[in-house]
Amino acid sequence: MKADPTGVLTGTHFLDGDQACCEGALAAGCRFSAGYPITPSTEIVERFALRVPLIGGMFIQMEDELASSIAIAGAVWAGARAFTVTSGPGFSLLMEHIGYAAMTETPLVIVDVQRGGPSTGLPTLPGQADMMQARWGSHGDYEIIALCPTSPQECFDLMIAAFNLSEQYRTPVLFMMDECVGHMTEKVVIPPADQIEIVPRRFTTAPPGSYKPFLPDPDGVPPIARAGDGHRFHITGLTHDEQGYPAMNVNAQQQLIHRLIGKIRDNAGKIARNEEHFLDDADVVVVAYGITARVALRAVQMAREQGVKAGLLRPVVVWPFPLARIRDLAARPSLAGFVVPEMNCGQMVLEVERAVAGRAPVALLPHAGGTVHRPEDILAAILDSAAAGSARRSTGQVRPAPLAEVSR
């Protein structure tokens, strides 16, 4: 379906990433947010609090991020599209409710504008050290979808995609910004509402009295209901049956958890979204995301100017991670290696290494945060990787045999 024009600020604007993120949420049909102010994410809900009452929505400032995250879950079950925003310490605080939303299949969006950490860290400066927390922060087995924008324009565009994915797979979706992207001001083009595709919520068509909130359709995703529509059902974070009632047995656990994981893992190829530059003939592949990808692209261009065939793979959807694409690149006989710059001390590089499975060298270029990498530093790592590959070829060294294939 098309977007509701009342929430779409059509036109060309000069917005920072936080403001664009807010506009993306409104264009996606979000009409409720609960949040607690925390730098550098506060500007998102400041704008939302000004804009949403004018179009029939609501913002509530809560006492903390734990209250905020459970409030938006309640709003979803009342029929609204909802999101909250946070950073660093707040992201840690609401981890319990990411697991709860995954277990109860509550479609919502959580924005994390990353800053330097741990603890209070660098509240006004950038970081990318929440990436593994996004995947594994809550306890138990579950899959998560996470997107990582690299510009204010993408903060708008991908926020709509985040809401669409949450509705399509009935799951929480994480929106992993960083302070640089959040506070960067650039041109943002917002199209007319009739050019914005919105995935509608899959409401049940079952008559009252027969609805089962966790009975999946053939694609593994159950329809949802609104409180007040006449259906009687139970929602719990306990292992539950299709009716939603607690089921404390092994069979129920196996069936439920495998379905929750499968509805995302089995569709990883459909969910995947990558941006690629110069990969057709690349001997050195740089894997970068968020603001670091913008710096990495300049380094790749500089390497090309020096005659080194470098390319950039930028995961836009960072979870599920693009393992299959990296496996394909690693299989190239001419590949010298991978370079992974991150504004952390080594997180997503572990996924790159897992996908490469020993086929090629993987070099981490870490940065503890507070500012971005310099293109010259990434360039130096590219040149080192290319030189090492040339040396191996000149001495006739055989590339190592791959390790066991990784299934996910």
CA distance 163 to 108: 7
CB 338 within 8 A of CB 287: yes
Question: Which pLDDT score, from 0 to 100, does residue 401 have?
Answer: 55
Q: How many CB atoms lie under 10 A from the CB of residue 94?
A: 25
What does the pLDDT read at residue 399? Answer: 62
For residue 334, how many C-alpha atoms fall within 13 Å in the half-sphere facing its CB? 9
Here the tokens at position 212 are 């089962």
Q: What local confidence, expressed as pLDDT, does residue 273 receive?
A: 98
Question: Distance between CA atoms of 40 and 155, rounded to whole angstroms?
Answer: 14
Distances in Å between the alpha carbon of 373 and those of 41, 126, 279, 366? Answer: 22, 11, 22, 9
Give me the chain's average pLDDT, please: 96
What's the pLDDT score for residue 406?
Answer: 44
114 with 360: CB under 8 angstroms?
Answer: no
The predicted-structure confidence for 51-94, as pLDDT tens digits, reads as follows 999 999 999 999 999 999 999 999 999 999 999 999 999 999 99
- In the prediction, which pLDDT does 101 show? 98
pLDDT for the residue numbered 116: 95
Q: DSSP labels for 227-285? A: TTSS------SS-B-TTS-B--SHHHHHHHHHHHHHHHHTTHHHH--EEEES-TT-SEE
**Which residues in the chain come in under a pLDDT of 50?**
406-408
The predicted structure's pLDDT at residue 393 = 83
For residue 40, give the nearest of 104, 105, 130 by alpha carbon. 130
* Domains, in order of start, for the chain: 5-195 (3.40.50.970), 275-394 (3.40.50.920)
302/375 Cα distance (integer angstroms):
8
pLDDT at 158: 98
Terminal CA-CA length for the chain: 32
pTM of the entire structure? Answer: 0.96
The answer to whether 373 and 292 are in contact (CB under 8 A) is yes
The CA distance from 110 to 175, in Å, is 6
Contact 151, 293 (CB under 8 A): no
